[in-house]
A and B are shown apart, each in its own frame.
Chain A
Amino acid sequence: MLNQRVIFLFSKKDDFIDPFFIEFRGKKRWMRPDLVFADAEGDLTIIDWKYMDANSFISLNKKNQTDITKQLCYELTLKKSTNAIAIESQFVIPSFGKYSHYLDDKKLHQRFVENKIKVFKADFLEIQNTYLTHD
């Protein structure tokens, strides 16, 4: 479940140098992944929230394609700026069912599978409760 998966967030500024930028003649412009977190082993997961239906990932369209491109850009920059051995990419979509789960690869277009991007269907009520009761 969500709470078990999030061990600590990379939100403490001191721990994390933001590598998500492009640079031209010393000037930077920033990319904005939604969330990066690390587990106890130091493996990283880059998460982007997608307010999309689970069926949106079966076929490839311009939006999907750009989302994959963005995600791989985040992955590359994070890989180059940290010592993390494993970096995983996930799109998280809201679920109004009883439990959270990953979408089966069969429900994803090949491009997601080839690029090892998982789609996690997260229990919206659980997220809402966690958010509302957070300090």
Chain B
Amino acid sequence: MIETKPAAKSNFVGYLGVKNYPQVEQNLIFPLVEKFFVAREITDFKPIDEKAGFADLDFQRKNFADFFAHFYEFIVDGIHKKDGKVEIPVRYCITLDETNCSKTCEKTGIRYDEILLFDQPVFYFLFVDVKDVFARLRGEVFIPEKPII
């Protein structure tokens, strides 16, 4: 049931395969992601390249010595200057491992964590409960734990 994923960059990330991912994406992932960023008034957000997904432990030098190369290539690669001001689109990574998410969003109840560049969040882990994935596959309605305030 658990297969090898040779293309994965991290030793701590698990991927899930389903027959009908668009169903899960449209009815669970997209609404969750959008709800999270709307609550933060962030409009420019993109998922990290799938194989570039990583975990909390990868922030430690002993686990990922060249993390900065990864950071520049996959997280802040969209950085640019507009009207003299530096702007960065936010990247996020969906994770099935709640350990990656030490925080709970007050407005949405979504479990998350963030990497800051100085004091600016540039990356978010967003937790998706595998139970909700299976509920979607069974056609059940996704009900967020807490509505947006």
Contact = CB atoms under 8 A, between A and B. Distances in A.
Given A79-B86, A81-B118, A116 B81 contact: yes
B86 A22 contact: no
Contact of B115 (A22, A79, A80): A22
A77 B56 contact: no
A59 interface: no
A23 B116 contact: yes
Contacts, number: 66
A69 B59 contact: no
B43 to A, nearest CB: 18
Contacts of B77: 65, 69
A115 B117 contact: no
A115 B80 contact: yes
Interface stretch (A24-32, A50-58, A96-104, A119-127): A24-32
A75 B86 CA distance: 8
A70 B72 contact: yes
B113 A24 contact: yes
Contact of A69 (B72, B84, B118, B120): B72
A25 B117 contact: no
Contacts of A115: 80-81
Contacts of A29: 59, 61, 67-68
A20 B68 CA distance: 12
A38 B72 CA distance: 26
A66 B71 contact: no
A72 B85 CA distance: 10
Interface in B50-95: 56, 59-61, 67-69, 71-73, 76-77, 79-81, 84, 86, 88
Given A114-B81, A115-B80, A116-B81, A73 B117 contact: yes
A76 interface: yes
B102 interface: yes
A114 B88 CA distance: 15
Given A70-B72, A80-B120, A116-B84, A23 B79 contact: no
